[in-house]
Amino acid sequence: MDNKVLSRDGTPLAYERHGDGPAVVLVGGALCTGATLAPLARALSDRFGAVTYDRRGRGASGDTVSSCTVAREVEDIAALIRACGGTASLYGMSSGGALALRAAASGLPVDAVAVYETPFALHEGRGEERREYTGRLTELLARGRHGDALELFMALTGMPPEMIAGARRSPGWAGMEAIAPTLAYDDAVMGDGLLPRELPASLPMPVLSVAGGASPEWMREAARAVADAAPEGTYRVLERQTHNVDAAALAPLLEEFFGNGGTG
């Protein structure tokens, strides 16, 4: 990524704009870099200026670890919006969806928000699991045990032990370890893990919440709850898609939504 913009606290953010149309900032989830969402950005680039970026602490972006909070990440999105003309729509993937919702609720000049499978829990049992994860993650990162922190996160997502062991032996493991400290940032943006219904309820702009038809039922329930809580919320299911959604399957739905001013 050749473009850089400074966030309010001076952290440099690397970004790339695909296309010349209305700006749509794409917000990745845990362990994602701007490259993760590049296929989706390219698919949207005929109609939109799709902006991918490395969230702080990842890829070519800088970091200010001592001051990284959810508010700082919202300021990062504000800086990107200013760099792209002053207004934008937002798309957030997984925990990046929670960040996109929080950014929109903060009063930034956001036209519409789309999120894919933001993993909020609806029941206290899953909320307790999340709180246990937060405590253990904080401990592992404080001790510099980044590989173990990665394993903990993968287990939280439901990845079987044998797949986690395979991932640890893969060539990409070192790259994931390098950004493992940012797992704390995604944990922070998820709060206690439970859906804060007042968050989507506070949004004055259209909200699209999408889930995959092949994803676990709880993810579809959470996606529906986000849409139901938003005053202008819409819920959609992409059949045969999982949490690892295909950009070619998602792009037409986002094009319709953003292209119709959030009413698609």
254 phi and psi, to 5 degrees?
Answer: -70, -40
Over its C-alpha atoms, the chain yields an Rg (Å, rounded) of 17
224 phi and psi, to 5 degrees?
Answer: -65, -40
Contact 76, 25 (CB under 8 A): no
Q: Among candidates 32, 39, 69, 67, which has minimal Cα distance to 53?
A: 32
Give the integer Cα–Cα distance in Å for 110 and 105. 9
> What domains are there in the chain, each with its CATH number?
3-120+195-259 (3.40.50.1820), 124-188 (no CATH)
**pTM higher than 0.75, yes or no?**
yes
**pLDDT of res. 62:** 95
| Partners of residue 93 on adjacent β-strands | 116
pLDDT in tens, the chain (264 residues): 779 999 999 999 999 999 999 999 999 999 999 999 999 999 999 999 999 999 999 999 999 866 679 999 999 999 999 999 999 999 999 999 999 999 999 999 999 999 999 999 998 777 778 889 999 999 999 999 999 999 999 999 999 999 999 999 999 999 999 999 999 999 999 999 999 999 999 999 999 999 999 999 999 999 999 999 999 999 999 999 999 999 999 999 999 999 986 555
Helices (H) and strands (E) in the chain — how many of each? 11, 8
Give the integer Cα–Cα distance in Å for 5 and 22. 19
Query: Where does residue 41 rank: exposed (0-12), middle (13-18), buried (19+ CB within 10 A)?
Result: buried
In the Cβ-directed half-sphere of 70, how many Cα atoms lie within 13 Å? 18
SS (HEC) of 148-215: HHHHHHHHHCCCCHHHHHHHHCCCCHHHHHHCHHHHHHHHHHHCCCECCCHHHHCCCCCEEEEEECCC
| Partners of residue 207 on adjacent β-strands | 113, 233
